[in-house]
Amino acid sequence: MDQFLIYFWATWEWAKSTLALISVLGISVTAVVTAAYALFKFLGEKWISQKFAQQLEAYKSEQGRELERLRHRINGVFDRTKRLHDREFEVVPDLWGQLVEAHGWAWSYISPLQNYPDVDRMDADELEEFLEDKPFSKAQKRDISAASRRLETYREISEQYKYSDAMSKLRDFNIAFRKQGIFLQSEIKKDMGDLAQMIRGAVIEHQINQEDKPRPRLRDDYKKLETEGKVLFEKIEQDVVDRLWDSTKTEV
């Protein structure tokens, strides 16, 4: 506005000087006022247009900067979300696979239905050939060969390895779970952790039964894994399937 007043007063001073000259020339005051008003209107509209153009340009510039900041934030969120989903889709099937292995090895160890070869009926050569590809130590193989009840000795040693294998698979899952569990959805993460605890409890319970031979045998953890564990296992499997295939059902 100050700039406009400067223009106006400068124009008015020029107009006053011009009035005197016009009066000498015999031009009426009405004509002079009309001309002055036209000049004032012209200059005012020009100044307003100039100010509007400046403010419009400043507004457009600010809006452009705001849009760029918004675009940057959206791109950042989209990039992080995509990376997280990509990582999740790698982790979920991997952890599920390790949990299935741990569950399978554990069940092989704790199952009441166990099949063992009848090593008592094998002669020395047959027994030596049979034990050749077993992971047993040389001392353990000698103990089996020298035992009066070979099957019982073989079963006890075999049970030790089954226990070790089951705990090893469970340990591998737990390590991966601790590392990669942050990429799981909370419900799947909780269910996987609960099932792993059930598996561990059942394995340790069975090992106590084998080593200490309590009477009656401990069965609570085994029954829990057999009943609740089965339901939870199937639930996790379905949740994993739903999570992995959810993106294919989403409408774009």
Q: Would you list the DSSP string of 31-87?
A: HHHHHHHHHHHHHHHHHHHHHHHHHHHHHHHHHHHHHHHHHHHHHHHHHHHHHHHHH
Place of tokens 């085994």: 222
Highest mean pLDDT among 40-44, 67-71, 173-177: 173-177
Which of 164, 140, 165 minimizes the C-alpha distance to 154?
140
Percent of the chain surpassing pLDDT 90:
58
Task: Residue 172: name the closest of 231, 94, 225 by CA.
Answer: 94
Q: Which residues of 185-196 are buried (b: 16+ CB within 10 A; e: fewer)?
A: eeebbebbbebb
Lowest model confidence (mean pLDDT) among 18-27, 32-41, 103-112, 196-205: 18-27
The pTM of the full predicted model, rounded to 2 decimals, is: 0.69
Q: Give the range among 42-46, 199-203, 228-232, 247-251 with minimum mean pLDDT.
A: 247-251
Q: Look at residue 38 in the predicted model and tell me its pLDDT.
A: 61
Rounded CA separation 196/181 (Å) = 13
Q: Average the pLDDT over 95-100 and give the result.
A: 97
Mean pLDDT of 205-226: 95
What is the model's pLDDT at position 54? 73
Distance of CA 133 to CAs 105, 129, 251, Å?
Answer: 19, 8, 55
Residue 45, pLDDT > 80, answer: no
Please determine, for residue 46, whether its predicted confidence score (pLDDT) is greater than 70: no
Distance CA 222, CA 229 (A): 9
Other C-beta atoms closer than 10 Å to the C-beta of 173 total: 24
Contacts 24+ apart (CB under 8 A), 74-82: none
Out of 35-49, 125-139, 218-232, least confident range: 35-49
Does position 121 have pLDDT exceeding 90, yes or no?
Answer: yes
pLDDT at position 246: 74
How wide is the angle at C-alpha 228 spanned by C-alphas 227 and 230, nearest 5°? 70
**pLDDT value of position 252:** 42
Contact present, 184 and 88 (Cβ < 8 Å): yes
Q: Are 193 and 231 contacting, i.e. CB atoms less than 8 angstroms apart? A: no
Residue 235: which pLDDT band, with cuts at 50, 70 and 90?
Answer: very high
User: Given the structure tokens 């094998």, which residue do they identify?
Assistant: 122
C-alpha to C-alpha distance for 237 and 94, rounded to whole angstroms? 13
Distance CA 36, CA 33 (A): 5
Average pLDDT of the chain?
A: 83
Distance CA 247, CA 251 (A): 9
- The two tokens of residue 36 are 């002055």
The region of weakest confidence among 80-89, 121-130, 213-222 is 80-89
- Beta carbons within 10 angstroms of residue 8's beta carbon: 15
Using pLDDT thresholds of 50, 70 and 90, give the confidence band for residue 91.
Answer: very high
Residue 199 near residue 225 (C-beta atoms within 8 A): yes
Q: Given this model, what pLDDT does residue 175 score?
A: 97
Beta-carbon contacts of residue 165 (< 8 Å; ≥ 6 apart)? 105, 109
